[in-house]
A and B are shown apart, each in its own frame.
Chain A
């Protein structure tokens, strides 16, 4: 048979048998990593804003400096290097450093400082006059966070979390190269190592499609939740 046709048949085989599972693995890693990263990153982002010198609950400037430097450090390590560096930690938490579940650990570590910065940005957009108003009503710093800052920045937070989830999905593909599962893995294994570019294209197309879908849903939710727009 024509070698091109053989390659195509192989590719169709892979797409039929492995693509759906790879997609599931990618979504699973992306969504779980994003959730964990939000659990850590959201409070950290809040802390960055309220603990600021001019925030509603100023913390010692030295402490804030340390937190900021740590976040910048984590943010500046390239993800490929971070993945390898945290392998001992991954083994400690998950028991292994290979597979989809194991890839969630470096993903969370890479994503939470990013999310903390995004949350910081969203919260700083809240009209300072509204925060002052809450203070003039006798709100505690915690009440201001829960009743004013977070609810007022919901549309912006949704936009930023959408940005985060699409970025994290890009990272999961990367983690496929070094032992993680998902679309990145089949693209690497069949596409790069076995020179089957059809599988590579298929994986890329699927990634592009999910990114589009996620971004559209995120944007629609952000717009719908924003009550500042007159209807």
Chain B
């Protein structure tokens, strides 16, 4: 278990001190795939570097199974780093070494004899599906393959925790998916705790079970991924979960119009043809102005913005129909040029 306690980190810059992290508290349980998400500059990378003490926290502590990592001396710290390994956005392989020698590096650093290290490295390359690339140089591999080699290297010392610092941000969606699948596999088979730093909600959605949202160096929301998706409380979370929501928030202006915003908070009904059903049952044929929904498990989250044709009668029928659906919030925005802004 990793506990981050009241962690703060400030950097001295020429413009004065900058608080990269402010009083961060997190608990990461063994076997978790824990997402830490935030926009660029939110402090994600600093946080993950504080977890393995590549950055020394200014205040607070990181406890691993109750042991304060900040109090460790150089040697203990180096031992700890074999148990908490890391992969990076830029893969960071040695470019002048073959893949197998890259994977051997942490083992050699730990003092393992060459023969044994070679065998272990080959096993690891097997695990990530690249045994045939053992003698290739990183420059001869694709980005996804390089990240696989980096994962093999990170797993070589049999770690308990794997830190992923934007590990898929340089990869295309398909490769991202296959790398995430590999990470999930490793988590399941080897029981390694994974901490995933990312700015992509899709990454969290795909593999994480818990998530913390970081904004300006502070954790603004934390919890199970499903809960955070269902009911994003903080502004920053809403922007990350539904980036399209802000775009669709176009005000009605002075034109005549009546709009209905449906917000799905984990409705199972999303699989039903809700809008078509409404048209059949009430005769109101709404047009969709904007929508952003995503499935988490078998539940739907997101919103649909509908334009309702006709007058207040049609609107009332539509709202009445839509409110029958469980786990859906209906809000209405209308503008009639003669009597402005009516809220229903």
Asked if B140 is at the interface of the complex by the 8 Å CB criterion, the answer is yes
Asked if B120 is at the interface of the complex by the 8 Å CB criterion, the answer is no
B106 touching A137, Cβ below 8 Å: yes
| Contact string against B for A residues 19-55, beta-carbon threshold 8 Å, 1 for contact and 0 otherwise | 0000000000000000000000000000000000000
Asked if B340 is at the interface of the complex by the 8 Å CB criterion, the answer is no
Contact A133-B88, Cβ < 8 Å, known A151-B96, A227-B96, A227-B137: yes
B96 touching A138, Cβ below 8 Å: no
B96 touching A137, Cβ below 8 Å: no
Chain B residues, Cβ within 8 Å of A65: none
Asked if B261 is at the interface of the complex by the 8 Å CB criterion, the answer is no
Distance of A140 Cα from B74 Cα, bound (Å): 9
Distance of A132 Cα from B79 Cα, bound (Å): 16
Asked if A16 is at the interface of the complex by the 8 Å CB criterion, the answer is no
Asked if A226 is at the interface of the complex by the 8 Å CB criterion, the answer is yes
Nearest B-chain residue to A137, judged by Cβ: B106
A147 touching B140, Cβ below 8 Å: no
Q: Quick one: which of A137, A154, A226, A227 contacts B82, CB cutoff 8 A?
A: A137
Asked if A143 is at the interface of the complex by the 8 Å CB criterion, the answer is yes
A152 touching B94, Cβ below 8 Å: yes
Q: Quick one: which of B88, B109, B163 contacts A147, CB cutoff 8 A?
A: B109
Shortest CB-to-CB span from A3 to chain B, Å, is: 60
Distance of A147 Cα from B54 Cα, bound (Å): 19
Shortest CB-to-CB span from B321 to chain A, Å, is: 56
Asked if B322 is at the interface of the complex by the 8 Å CB criterion, the answer is no
| Contact string against B for A residues 117-152, beta-carbon threshold 8 Å, 1 for contact and 0 otherwise | 000000000010110111111111001000110011
Contact A230-B109, Cβ < 8 Å, known A129-B88, A133-B88, A137-B82: no
Distance of A148 Cα from B82 Cα, bound (Å): 17
Shortest CB-to-CB span from A147 to chain B, Å, is: 6
Asked if B190 is at the interface of the complex by the 8 Å CB criterion, the answer is no
Chain A residues, Cβ within 8 Å of B109: 134, 137-139, 143, 147
Shortest CB-to-CB span from A160 to chain B, Å, is: 16
Asked if B108 is at the interface of the complex by the 8 Å CB criterion, the answer is yes
Contact A136-B78, Cβ < 8 Å, known A148-B94, A227-B137, A231-B140: no
Shortest CB-to-CB span from A144 to chain B, Å, is: 9
Distance of A31 Cα from B137 Cα, bound (Å): 33
Nearest A-chain residue to B86, judged by Cβ: A136
| Contact string against A for B residues 75-87, beta-carbon threshold 8 Å, 1 for contact and 0 otherwise | 0011111100110
B95 touching A132, Cβ below 8 Å: no
Number of A residues with CB within 8 Å of any CB on chain B: 26
Nearest B-chain residue to A132, judged by Cβ: B54
B85 touching A136, Cβ below 8 Å: yes
Distance of A96 Cα from B110 Cα, bound (Å): 50
A147 touching B108, Cβ below 8 Å: yes
> Which residues of B47-98 have CB atoms within 8 Å of chain A's CB atoms?
52, 54, 77-82, 85-86, 88, 90, 92-97
Q: Quick one: which of A137, A138, A152 contacts B95, CB cutoff 8 A?
A: A152
Shortest CB-to-CB span from A5 to chain B, Å, is: 58
> Which residues of A147-169 have CB atoms within 8 Å of chain B's CB atoms?
147-148, 151-152, 154-155
| Contact string against A for B residues 92-126, beta-carbon threshold 8 Å, 1 for contact and 0 otherwise | 11111100000001101110000000000000000
Asked if B139 is at the interface of the complex by the 8 Å CB criterion, the answer is yes
Chain A residues, Cβ within 8 Å of B108: 147
B86 touching A138, Cβ below 8 Å: no
Q: Quick one: which of A152, A155, A230 contacts B139, CB cutoff 8 A?
A: A230
Chain A residues, Cβ within 8 Å of B106: 137-138
B77 touching A138, Cβ below 8 Å: yes
B78 touching A140, Cβ below 8 Å: yes
Chain B residues, Cβ within 8 Å of A147: 105, 108-109
Shortest CB-to-CB span from A159 to chain B, Å, is: 14
Shortest CB-to-CB span from A53 to chain B, Å, is: 13
Distance of A134 Cα from B108 Cα, bound (Å): 12
Chain A residues, Cβ within 8 Å of B96: 151-152, 154-155, 225-228
Distance of A139 Cα from B94 Cα, bound (Å): 14
Contact A138-B82, Cβ < 8 Å, known A227-B139, A228-B95: yes
18 other A-B residue contacts (CB within 8 Å) besides A138-B80, A138-B106, A139-B109? A129-B88, A129-B92, A130-B92, A132-B92, A133-B86, A135-B81, A136-B86, A137-B82, A138-B79, A138-B81, A138-B109, A138-B110, A140-B78, A147-B108, A151-B96, A225-B96, A226-B96, A227-B97
| Top 10 closest pairs, chain A to chain B, by CB | A138-B78, A138-B81, A133-B92, A227-B137, A137-B106, A136-B86, A228-B95, A129-B92, A139-B109, A227-B96
21 residue pairs from A and B, CB less than 8 Å apart:
A130-B92, A132-B92, A133-B86, A136-B54, A137-B81, A138-B77, A138-B80, A138-B81, A138-B82, A138-B106, A147-B105, A148-B94, A151-B96, A152-B95, A226-B96, A227-B95, A227-B138, A227-B139, A228-B137, A230-B139, A230-B140
Residues of A within 8 A of B (CB): 127, 129-130, 132-140, 143, 147-148, 151-152, 154-155, 225-231
